[in-house]
Amino acid sequence: MTTQQRPLGSGLDRDSTADQALGAADLTGKTVVVTGASSGLGTETARVLAQAGAKIIAAVRSPERAKAALAGVKNVQIEQLDLADPASIDAFVARVEATGTPVHILINNAGVMACPLARDARGYEMQFATNHLGHFQLTAGLWPALKRANGARVVTLSSGAHRRSPVLFDDINFETTEYEKFKAYGQAKSANALFSVGLDQRGQKDGVRAFAVHPGIIHDTNLFHFLSSEEMSQTAGALGATKTIPQGAATTVWAATSPMLEGHGGVYCENGDIAEGVPADKQTPGGVRPWAVDPALADRLWSVSEKMTGKSFPG
């Protein structure tokens, strides 16, 4: 079943917090993997889901930072994971798979934003490699665990910045095109949204549903590490008013837990609801552009991602 790209009337809005989005959800006995849980939105997401009874596997680059950030949060297991390092991803997956545990919710939260031109060891542009390819490989590796859940959700953080660029299939790695950091970020965020479309299409038969979320603009996170104060102001102006961290984590928590989304998937969400699909030339913030939810583009990205990572999803 294909879910229409239009709000469901959740009752939440841009000011709702992650605790409000959780509502009365009971996650006792559920296992949740959260990437980037050592700061910001990842920490808040892990805290709220743990509060609902879930076991949290915090997948982070810096376990020491995660220990400090998640101090006092019960039922958290901290594991090292570098999404820019394929070997690190495989090692993390192997550790999870060795336990035989099902993964009921996967939160693909970690990412980098608007960094200077950098490439991973394979020569891939760093924002696309980390934000999309790393999570593609991680999700592929965790696929058996997601299927074991007999009803799992994968929530991948996209961004309103997807409107800055579709996926540049002719030059994803900026090998011939002049690098522009916000364009590269927009491409990666469009890829995150398309990944959710493709994943949901493939996962429905195994009870795995996928959602992309735009958390909003939250300046109090490490995501803005590479931006000057002037660039931060310009970003907020281009993409909408800023949110607090609890407000920013709300849509992620809603997509991961809301009973309203039973039977739904493959959609882009914002402000605690499914977002409106909007025209490609819309100039104001809000909504999702066609190139981020197009099934044909999602299939094309899927094939490209398999080739670039050398990974495919088990049948």
Reported confidence tier of residue 50, pLDDT bands at 50, 70, 90: very high
Distance from C-alpha of 57 to C-alpha of 55, rounded to nearest angstrom: 7
How many residues does this entry show for the chain? Answer: 315
Residues 1-9, mean pLDDT to the nearest whole number: 91
Residue 63 DSSP symbol: H
Distance from C-alpha of 110 to C-alpha of 134, rounded to nearest angstrom: 10
Tens of pLDDT, residues 55-92: 999 999 999 999 999 999 999 999 999 999 999 999 99
Distance from C-alpha of 137 to C-alpha of 148, rounded to nearest angstrom: 18
Residues 21-34, mean pLDDT to the nearest whole number: 98
Residue 131 DSSP symbol: I
| pLDDT above 70: percentage of residues in the chain | 92
- At residue 275, does pLDDT exceed 90? yes
- At residue 2, does pLDDT exceed 80? no
Q: Which residues contact 132 (CB under 8 A, 6 or more apart)?
A: 188, 191, 192, 195, 305
Least confident range from 27-36, 226-235, 245-254, 292-301: namely 226-235
Q: In what order do the strands lie in the sheet with 152-157?
A: 76-80, 55-60, 31-35, 105-108, 152-157, 208-214, 267-270, 273-274
Instruction: Calculate helix-pair angle for 134-141, 181-203, nearest 10 degrees.
Output: 20
Distance from C-alpha of 170 to C-alpha of 191, rounded to nearest angstrom: 14
- Answering whether pTM is above 0.85, one says yes
Q: Give bridge partners of residue 58 from the DSSP assignment.
A: 34, 78
**H or E segment at 201?**
helix 181-203
Which pLDDT belongs to residue 314?
Answer: 83
- Averaged pLDDT score across all residues of the chain: 94
Other Cβ atoms less than 10 A from the Cβ of 262: the count is: 10
The dihedral sign for the CA sequence 136, 142, 146, 152: negative
Reported confidence tier of residue 95, pLDDT bands at 50, 70, 90: very high
114's tokens: 């608007």
Report whether 249 contacts 16 (CB < 8 A).
Answer: no
Tens of pLDDT, residues 111-154: 999 999 999 999 999 999 999 999 999 999 999 999 999 999 99
Residues 20-42, mean pLDDT to the nearest whole number: 97
Tens of pLDDT, residues 165-182: 999 999 999 999 999 999
Q: Which residues contact 170 (CB under 8 A, 6 or more apart)?
A: none
Query: Is residue 268 annotated as part of the catalytic site, yes or no?
Result: no
Report whether 86 contacts 137 (CB < 8 A).
Answer: yes
